[in-house]
Amino acid sequence: MRKPDVKIVLLGDMNVGKTSLLHRYMERRFQDTVSTVGGAFYLKQWRSYNISIWDTAGREQFHGLGSMYCRGAGAIILTYDVSHLQSLVELEDRFLGLTDTANTDCLFAIVGNKVDLTEDGAAEDQEKEEGSSGGAAGSCVSAKVPKQVKLEDAVALYKKILKYKMLDEKDVPAAEKMCFETSAKTGYNVDHLFETLFDMVVPMILRQRAEGPVQTVDISSYNKQPKPMKSGCCA
Ligand SMILES: Nc1nc2c(ncn2[C@@H]2O[C@H](COP(=O)(O)OP(=O)(O)OP(=O)(O)O)[C@@H](O)[C@H]2O)c(=O)[nH]1
Ligand SMILES: [Mg+2]
């Protein structure tokens, strides 16, 4: 298996559409999903780099696994559902703490999915181009609901994350650049989300390569045997 150069992790409450976003991006379609158990990952080749993208389970019972999945992550996609305010609240209350195991220079993106459900209508146009595969995606026209989370709320959360991580706004990408609204159903903004992040992690990969591999002791190259002591006494 190819060795990943960097790891990106999707986090967020159950049902917000993490698995659907990954399917949409990797398989170019929207299909029925089952609630994720544990986690799963995809390997994406981006230019000459290998990027692993980890999908995690949002269900409470798998919460303990979250920090393990975040270990060494170069970017984390915190996902909520724009039609469900509590899913944004959960990001701060339940998921942010899991990111402590990520790299110190880890990037954070905040993604409001399911914009196609809201009265906003921004996600309509791409549906026909990208196509849906039936099932839950179906061709039926669903009733629109008011948007419960505005982009400004996501921007405010991004700023809270910077505070939590003790990062200075001028040292990290601007909030407006890191908050996205998407629809896994229509494909709206999905490529833009992933490819923006891929472009941003490339310099990280290059930096890691320049710094070289982590220093470890190679015991196989240490072939000089200690001389046996002549006498049995200790100094
Ligand atoms: N309308 C609409 N429905 C979506 C969208 N994304 C996902 N869904 C639906 O939302 C439900 C949950 O999607 P999943 O992708 O399984 O959600 P998840 O975040 O992976 O959930 P867990 O694996 O339980 O953490 C499914 O019924 C999807 O069909 C979207 O962009 N628009
Ligand atoms: Mg899932």
pLDDT in tens, 72-102: 999 999 999 999 999 999 999 999 999 999 9
Residue 193 inside a domain? The answer is: yes
pLDDT band at 122 (very low <50, low <70, confident <90, very high): low
d(CA 113, CA 183): 5
pLDDT per position as a tens digit, 100-111: 999 999 999 999
Mutate to test the pocket of ligand 1, among 33, 139, 190 (most ligand atoms within 8 A of CB): 33
* Per-residue confidence (pLDDT) for residue 211, from 0 to 100: 86
* Per-residue confidence (pLDDT) for residue 216, from 0 to 100: 54
Which ligand 1 atom is nearest residue 137's CA?
Answer: 29
pLDDT per position as a tens digit, 190-222: 999 999 999 999 999 999 889 876 555 555 545
d(CA 161, CA 198): 21
| Whole-angstrom Cα Rg for the chain | 22
- Please tell me the residue having the least CA distance from ligand 1 atom 8: 17
Q: Which residue has the higher pLDDT, 215 or 119?
A: 119
What is the pTM assigned to this prediction? 0.86
Could you write out the DSSP letters of every residue in 116-168? GGBTT-TTSTHHHHH---SGGG-SPPPPPB--SS-HHHHHHHHHHHHHHTT--
Residue 90 inside a domain? The answer is: yes
Residue 137 confidence (pLDDT) above 50: no
Based on the number of CB atoms within 10 Å of its own CB, is 102 exposed (0-12), middle (13-18) or buried (19 or more)?
buried
- Please tell me the residue having the least CA distance from ligand 1 atom 6: 17
58 DSSP 8-state letter: -
Ligand in nearest proximity to the CA of 193? 1
Residue 227 inside a domain? The answer is: no
Task: Compute the distance from residue 54 Cα to the ligand 1 centre, in Å.
Answer: 16
Beta strands in the chain (DSSP E): 6-12, 39-46, 49-56, 75-81, 107-113, 179-181
Task: Compute the distance from residue 89 Cα to the ligand 1 centre, in Å.
Answer: 18
Which ligand 1 atom is nearest residue 183's CA?
Answer: 31
Which ligand 1 atom is nearest residue 117's CA?
Answer: 1
Ligand in nearest proximity to the CA of 13? 1
Residue 235 inside a domain? The answer is: no
The answer to whether 71 and 102 have CB atoms below 8 angstroms apart is yes
Residue 231 inside a domain? The answer is: no
Residue 151 inside a domain? The answer is: yes
What is the residue range of 131's domain? 6-221
Residue 181 inside a domain? The answer is: yes
Q: Which residues line ligand 1 (CB under 6 A)?
A: 12, 14-20, 33, 35-36, 57-59, 113-114, 116-117, 136, 183-185
Q: Which residue has the tokens 């100094």?
A: 235
Ligand in nearest proximity to the CA of 21? 1
φ, ψ (nearest 5 deg) of residue 162: -60, -40
- The pLDDT > 90 percentage for the chain reads 74
Residue 161 inside a domain? The answer is: yes
Q: What is the CATH number of the domain that holds 159?
A: 3.40.50.300
Q: Assess: ipTM above 0.95.
A: yes
- The pLDDT > 70 percentage for the chain reads 80
Count: domains in the chain: 1
Mean pLDDT of 1-22: 94
